[in-house]
Chain A
Amino acid sequence: MKTTRRMGLAAVLFLALVFALPLRAQSGAKALAIQGAKVHTLAGPAIENGTVVIRDGKIVAVGAGVQIPADAQVVDASGLEVYPGLFDPVTTIGLNEVGAVSATVDVTDLGDYNPELVAATAVNPASAHIPVTRASGITHVVAAPGAGGFDAQGGGVIGGQASAFHLAGWTMDEMQISRSVAMVINWPSIVTRTFDFPTLSFKEKPYTDAKKEYDKAVNDLSDLLDRARHFAQAQEKGSPAHFQRDLKLEALVPVVEGKLPMLVIAGEARDIRNAVEFCAKRNLKMILADGAEAWKVKDLLKEKKIPVILGPAERLPLHDDDAYDRPMALAAELNAAGIPVAFSSFGASFSRRLSQYAGTAVAYGLPHDEALKAVTLNAAQMFGLGEELGTIETGKLANLIVTDGDPLEIRTQVRYLFVKGRLTSTGNRQRDLYEQYRKRPAAAP
């Protein structure tokens, strides 16, 4: 008995060693210490000349007079600053390589209701977007199926389940933080005017038709959620004789139980109001995404405790007669109203602009420390990952960046990047091309 246990232990130790090898090869030591930097923990005041110790992918110590373990690989970060890694919470990273080439795009499947689809299944760990995005200090993201953005057209009412993952790793299994963090809902909107790309012109339809389509979509969604609730009840009561498994309904069970949030993408005030009331009536957890006109419904958002993930702060106002700086000032206004705010790119290739959005919001009134949280902690909390990510605190995952300055400022460079405690390269395809072509000999005249 004892021998078996000891052998088992030895086997575990052996396996641990084997699996730890690549980690050791990369980082060189079991523990890592970032030394001499100004540490912005976002959980308290910044620590001058601070040290962060990392072991087994986690932060094990933070402070000014922290003892560095003897086995630690030390990263000298004197004169530099440490921040939590940035988090882009609604993207198509890994699902969308080249926007116009459909063979490389897995964002949106056919059909309007696809709750059973999971982003993690299709995220390509070898995507060139991952290292490019990482170079701008983004250490983890959420990929949201069906979410539209600059790079891809979203679609369907239920896009699928969004997955959170680290922007480093050999396989999705290694990268995954959580396979399912939210159900993506493109809230239906009454749209009378749409842009038709093949003919490059606008197509109009009567309001009554658009309204009818809207009502049908919302009723169908409601109906599907009701069926999911009945399915959950039947399942709980030990599945009656003719109980048939239904993968779509099964996927919706955590939603109707209020465990999995609905990531509701809506921009116009009318749509936001309808979505909030829809979710409140059914006790569904909701995160609002986009929220272009969230300022018009901030009392309701505050009352129902709905957090908001905003799109690019610099985008155009929704309506011609909105104030020109409406989108830039939006985060400041929501934050002042006590509504948690995060920023997101809603795409892939512009994910690296995340900090630019937050910086712009600061220019228009958002406090700087809140802007930092809007690209780190806030979204982590929205997805239930606030205990693992978002600040530099003992016990949290060591997703960190070391910069030469304010991470929201355009000129700032990311010098070191840690994903799951591993010192990870900021190199990427674009830097390689730069290095390659800057060495091109002068062309013959």
Chain B
Amino acid sequence: MTRIARLAALVVCWLAPGAARAQNPSVILIQNATILTVTHGNIEHGSILIRDGKIAAVGADIKAPDGATLIDATGQFVIPGIVDCHSHIAVDGSVNEAGPAVSSMARIPDVLNPEDINIYRDLAGGVTTANILHGSANPIGGQTVVIKLRWGQPASELPFQGALPGIKFALGENPKRSNFTPPPGVPQRYPATRMGVEEVIRQAFTEAREYKKQWDDYNQRKAAGQPNLIPPRRDEALEPLLEVLAGKRYIHSHCYRADEILMLLRVAKEFGFTVRTFQHVLEGYKVADEIAAAGVGGSTFSDWWAYKMEVIDAIPYNAALMAKRGVVVSVNSDDADEARHLNQEAAKSMKYGGMSANEALKLVTLNPAIQLGIDNRVGSIDVGKDADLVIYNHDPLSVYAVAQKTLIDGQVYFDRQRDIARRPEIEKEKQALLDKEKKAAEEAKKAEEKEKQEAKPEKKPDKKKPAKPQSDASDAGVAGGAR
């Protein structure tokens, strides 16, 4: 990013959420809306009362308490905030620590970037909660974090308090590095087969168990009062795996093919851990019974396919088929762009597989909340849950629906009308910054020239201009158009 672009981005950062924080009303009543509660049907001409960031009441006849801020949603639709179970936004730099095959010491929560513009863009697409994952370069990848898209807040305010942390696992082509060539001089990394991927995971959990034994032994001796004990050496790669074994950290495993899905279920059984979600899981429909029996969630794409060999059997009916066999299914984005229209992606399961509208809506609200263990807080419009809501101008499962307002914890973090109204102001400020930058550059150039002249007063400035290359590029206005 150029300095100018960075400055301009900063302007957007400051302006967009500003008013939301300034007002911060504690009691809000959304009125006259069609409310898609997800858990208990749709309410026509309904109201939602929000108090201190929580949903206080939902129904057809709720009176506005004194001093409540009213949001008129006549003709509009309200759904629970969209939960994206697979996202890589708000990460500063690469999401892949691709060096070792086990990179569980790498921590996504340490590199959250609250100024990533994609937070705001996804918020404008109705996303309120996102599972920020490490990449898929390793059989055992980095630590992950669930965030709320509290645009304008510092990194410390993004994590979803109370959500269990996660760890990324990955199976298939990515961890075996099928589609990546190491730079010259860098050897290929083990594993390079699906057999190797399994063994990397088994090896890591074998070590984790040994490590746990050492600590248990140490703690036992310590408790018994044994003197002169030396604690085991801490291993930052194995500690997250101990949390997995203790059920304190969720595994979100990237996978595609049916065979590798069954492989991880076998390994999980062997070592006594559970997998929380299979991510992508594009062949999940082939082994849906096995996934359902293991109680693992499936978080998939709507209609992606053919981008690599292991997705050749991907079908857009996957979500519907898995759901029919009892798997808790979500549709995710894996992409800042896709996250902007997850409501549309959910609707595709109505076309492919005949899901009902409510079941389709669950794919991006309640089901991902269940998968992330936060369904007591978000995912539906129920009293007591966080007031994370999206107001659309049309049926949210229609291609014509545009998010008008997105609320998190009862605060309006995105307001389409306000966004539109601010554009001239932002444009003006951007122009002022550009002008300032240009002026500063001109002055610096002048000062430099003056310095040169003063340094060599005897030499006259060269009158001859350097010959300009007569290129088509320059006559096509390249120089003038440079930004």
**A residues touching B (Cβ–Cβ < 8 Å)?**
96-101, 128-129, 132, 150-151, 190, 197-201, 211, 214-215, 218-219, 222, 268-270, 273-275, 277-278, 281, 312, 314-317, 319-321, 323-325, 348-349, 352-353, 356, 359-360, 362-364, 408-413, 430-431, 433-434, 437-438, 440, 442-443, 445
Contacts and interface: CB of A to CB of B under 8 A. Distances in A.
Contact of B11 (A197, A321, A352): A321
A437 B477 contact: no
B307 A314 contact: no
Interface of B: 1, 5, 8-9, 11-12, 94, 96, 98, 117-118, 120-121, 124, 135, 137, 173, 178-183, 285-287, 289-290, 293, 303-309, 312-317, 321, 324, 336-337, 340-341, 344, 347-348, 350-353, 394, 397-402, 419, 423, 426, 430, 469, 471-478, 481-483
Top-5 shortest CB links A-B: A359-B399, A443-B289, A100-B308, A270-B481, A321-B8
Contacts of A269: 481, 483
A360 B337 contact: no
Given A363-B400, A363-B401, A443-B287, A129 B306 contact: yes
A227 B94 CA distance: 46
Contacts of B399: 356, 359-360, 362-363, 408-410
Nearest to B287: A443
Given A219-B473, A442-B289, A409 B398 contact: yes
B471 A98 contact: no
B471 A219 contact: yes
Contact of A438 (B312, B321, B341): B321
B419 A324 contact: yes
A211 to B, nearest CB: 8
B181 A321 contact: no
21 contacts: A97-B306, A98-B309, A100-B179, A101-B309, A218-B476, A268-B483, A274-B477, A315-B337, A316-B340, A319-B8, A320-B8, A323-B419, A349-B305, A360-B399, A362-B399, A410-B348, A410-B397, A411-B351, A430-B305, A431-B315, A443-B293
A96 B306 CA distance: 9
A200 B94 contact: yes
B400 A219 contact: no
Given A99-B308, A218-B472, A324-B121, A198 B423 contact: no
Contacts of B286: 437, 440
Given A277-B476, A430-B305, A324 B124 contact: yes
Given A278-B472, A410-B397, A320 B12 contact: yes
A200 B344 CA distance: 30
Contacts of A197: 180
A352 B351 contact: no
A336 B31 CA distance: 35
Given A273-B481, A277-B476, A433-B315, A320 B9 contact: yes
Give the one of A211, A268, A278, A433 with max B CB within 10 A: A433
